[in-house]
Structure 1
């Protein structure tokens, strides 16, 4: 993502306001549903955004997991990302795994110190370098946009889709309820078209071109769960859709899982010869071009 979407702040601000207002509700009790919920959240929307401090990208010293499953007729993808970030300055790692083809795996590691970051390539990507480990220069500007980091990008895109859908039609909000430990759960029906528009999943033209307007109107059940302090706990998007002679099934799930430490970071090879060095930006750009080609992007 080239630009941190303000809509992410908006939707989480609205939900945070809901948490604050309903924090005293009895565990498991319902707060407004349907039109009432949309009106209730809408009145808090702008004020909450201005006061918002806790966002997805601002959380530190945390671990997280996300899962992606998308099926279009007989074609499907299924993958997971486990991630951790800790320290100040910060070290980050995100481990990407295909559940369909275990050979499709990459670990991305940015240590706090130094000017380089690393990737560990799974067997499906062995053509990209003579060694599984590679190193490349860190971007000169660093992690300017928190949602650009692969460890949380799924959550950011889902939150963005929720916000864009909410801004277009506040009636997508279906309900909210309090949970044990003073957590809050908000539910909404996000149109499948907004899921695609905000690139929660990036589809090849052969599939995206076959998705009709009828399919795009179909609801994707979305659940946002927040902790007692208003920080995000989990986002889930789930749907089974039929139309235009096609079937779509999807489930996307992001959750924070605990506290991160230096033990969550990978250990680099002791022998420098086991790391292929990409010496400059041109080499880095060429690597990403070849990676995209292998991934069919």
Structure 2
């Protein structure tokens, strides 16, 4: 193996499709490890990995058209409205925050209001889905709930509810409740990263991550719920004070290290460096 020039080995390593493959390769021998852990190599690999990370990204709600480098994605400015009272007209609530890590990205703010998002997906046969977003729920006397509903081709639905009042995550289907899981990570007045992973048709599975940590891993093998293509996605909130940011939908299953990287780096997905999350403490200069 070592008969090839080091530069050639590094060029070969740049084509490894995933960070798992790169990590396994770095463990083969000390030569490979030293070549992979070079700062310039990881920087180049990170650039390529970022494009792979954005692959299969179907929806990215950035809450603004401004500086949007991905014009082919849906803008939430056109689809999200809130209503502060029954007699008030629908208005857009887009603003720049200046006291948290989303200083570079607009958020959707709620001030004792409701929000509803409705998105129709084109006919598809995708079998894996990943939803992720950031949320902060502020202390108040109002209900502190956020619900997401997914509709499938066979007219069944899956609903997921984040209840900050009780500190629980509840998953239900059309007929019955699946899961009610206590989650201490649902804290008020703190930004929380939420991820939902759906695997359909073959090995049906529901996974929920909070701040990069898996809190629910539920097999649905006995349920026909997920054996049909996803066609519709709805999001609803009850009255509360808070913010939402960086809604994303991938037609693939994000790896655990990718989910963890978003949560740890506390930024929008276009700035996430997944390579840093795996090799950040071992880079050689």
Q: How high is the TM-score relative to the length of structure 2?
A: 0.27
Q: Higher helix proportion, which one?
A: 1
> Given the two structures, how large is their TM-score scaled by the length of structure 1?
0.26
